[in-house]
């Protein structure tokens, strides 16, 4: 048992949770409970323009339907409250001030059109995004003042070229990379919204999170977040990046795929034990899918058995959940 273990699930209320979200939530909850640890529900609602109150409540309802509970969260409180990021602005501003006083930040005035046109694309971990060319890092103070008079800047973290970060992922193993290969990244957007990387690092530290289980698409983010945690003087959590649930074309499931939302499955009469049993089978925890509650699954759960390859969601899985056919 690991009494000091604290895990978390941190969804964004931009739509209904789907089976891909349930997959991550179930694995994170089971690992925490298997280690005798605590579990936190955090709502990542920084971008208030895209978030909806109705989705916040629906997330809580869907997770409780699955059998997931939490020791700290927006509806139960806790020592690190509030657990909604839109209410935690003061914490992020303190972190920004720390970075600013250490001369780790610089304003960026580049419009989105320019950022999208930058030709210098990194390789490896950060190959899916253009690397910022540090144009605004080289601006004089006078030029910055001139630009700031007509356009609010974003804030970027200047990532040191020689910094090496090692992530010892519980599923993917030990990897060492230079976060600078992905370029200097934004920690506060030009519209004032705090960027994901800063918020998640500050919140995980403030909430005492020791273990983060999340989708493998966020594996590159771990190197930036560990680097940022070090700049802020934090000890980073342990990571485990689990495979994504994808459709038949290999695309990550999205909230717009309403037929795979937990709300739609509930309305179709699917029992939570049936969905849990299917997810556990896909996670390598059972020889065949069969109805089981999350509580019943805790004792035998072992994260190491989770596959490393993407989980392809087939139409037969949805049919089986609804009692139509065998697998």
The answer to whether 108 is a known ligand-binding residue is yes
The answer to whether 8 is a known ligand-binding residue is yes
The answer to whether 255 is a known ligand-binding residue is yes
The answer to whether 317 is a known ligand-binding residue is no
Q: What is the CA angle 76-17-282, rounded to 5? A: 110
Question: What residues have CB less than 8 Å from 138, skipping those under 6 apart?
Answer: none
Backbone angles phi, psi at 105, to 5 degrees: -115, 155
* DSSP collapsed to 3 states, 215-230: EHHHHHHHHHHHHHHH
Residue whose pair of structure tokens reads 């005492």 in the numeric block: 208
The answer to whether 132 is a known ligand-binding residue is yes
To the query of whether residue 255 is one of the catalytic residues in this protein, the response is: yes
Tokens describing residue 275: 């969905």
Count of other CB atoms within 10 angstroms of residue 47: 16
Instruction: Give the 3-state secondary structure percentages of the chain, helix then strand then coil, rounded to 5.
Output: 40, 15, 45
8-state DSSP, 43: B
The answer to whether 151 is a known ligand-binding residue is no
- The whole-angstrom separation of Cα 19 and Cα 11 is 13
The answer to whether 224 is a known ligand-binding residue is no
Choice among 98, 255, 263, 266 that is catalytic:
255
The answer to whether 51 is a known ligand-binding residue is no
The answer to whether 319 is a known ligand-binding residue is no
The answer to whether 11 is a known ligand-binding residue is yes
Residue positions forming the annotated binding site for Zn(2+): 108, 110, 132, 136
Residue positions forming the annotated binding site for L-glutamate: 8-12, 44, 196, 214
Residue positions forming the annotated binding site for ATP: 255
Q: List residues with catalytic annotation.
A: 255
């Amino acid at each position: 048992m690991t009494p000091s273990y604290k895990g978390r699930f941190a969804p964004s209320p931009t739509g209904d949770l789907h089976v891909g979200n349930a997959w991550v939530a179930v694995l994170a909850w089971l690992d925490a409970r298997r280690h005798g640890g605590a579990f936190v529900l955090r709502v990542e609602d920084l971008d208030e323009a895209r978030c909806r109150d109705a989705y916040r409540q629906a997330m809580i309802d869907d997770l409780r339907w699955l059998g997931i509970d939490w020791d700290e969260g927006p509806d139960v409180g806790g020592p690190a409250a509030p657990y909604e990021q839109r209410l935690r602005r003061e914490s992020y501003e303190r972190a920004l001030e720390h970075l600013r006083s250490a001369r780790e930040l610089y304003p960026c005035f580049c419009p989105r059109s320019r950022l999208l046109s930058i030709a210098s694309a990194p390789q490896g971990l950060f190959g899916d995004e253009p690397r910022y060319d540090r144009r605004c890092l080289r601006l004089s103070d006078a030029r910055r003042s001139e630009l700031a008079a007509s356009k609010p800047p974003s804030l970027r973290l200047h990532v040191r070229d020689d910094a090496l970060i090692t992530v010892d992922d519980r599923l993917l193993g030990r990897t060492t990379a230079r976060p600078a290969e992905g370029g200097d990244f934004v920690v506060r957007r030009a519209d004032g919204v705090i960027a994901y990387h800063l918020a998640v690092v500050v919140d995980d530290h403030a909430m005492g999170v020791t273990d983060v289980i999340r989708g493998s698409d966020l594996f590159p983010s771990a190197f930036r977040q560990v680097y940022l945690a070090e700049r802020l003087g934090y000890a980073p959590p342990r990571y485990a990046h689990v495979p994504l649930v994808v459709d038949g074309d290999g695309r990550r499931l999205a909230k717009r795929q309403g037929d795979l939302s937990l709300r739609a499955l509930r309305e179709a009469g699917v029992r939570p034990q049936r969905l849990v049993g299917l997810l556990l089978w896909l996670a390598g925890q059972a020889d065949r899918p069969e109805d089981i509650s999350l509580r019943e699954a805790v004792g035998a759960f072992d994260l190491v058995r989770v596959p490393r390859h993407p989980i392809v969601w087939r139409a037969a899985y949805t049919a089986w959940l609804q009692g139509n056919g065998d697998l």
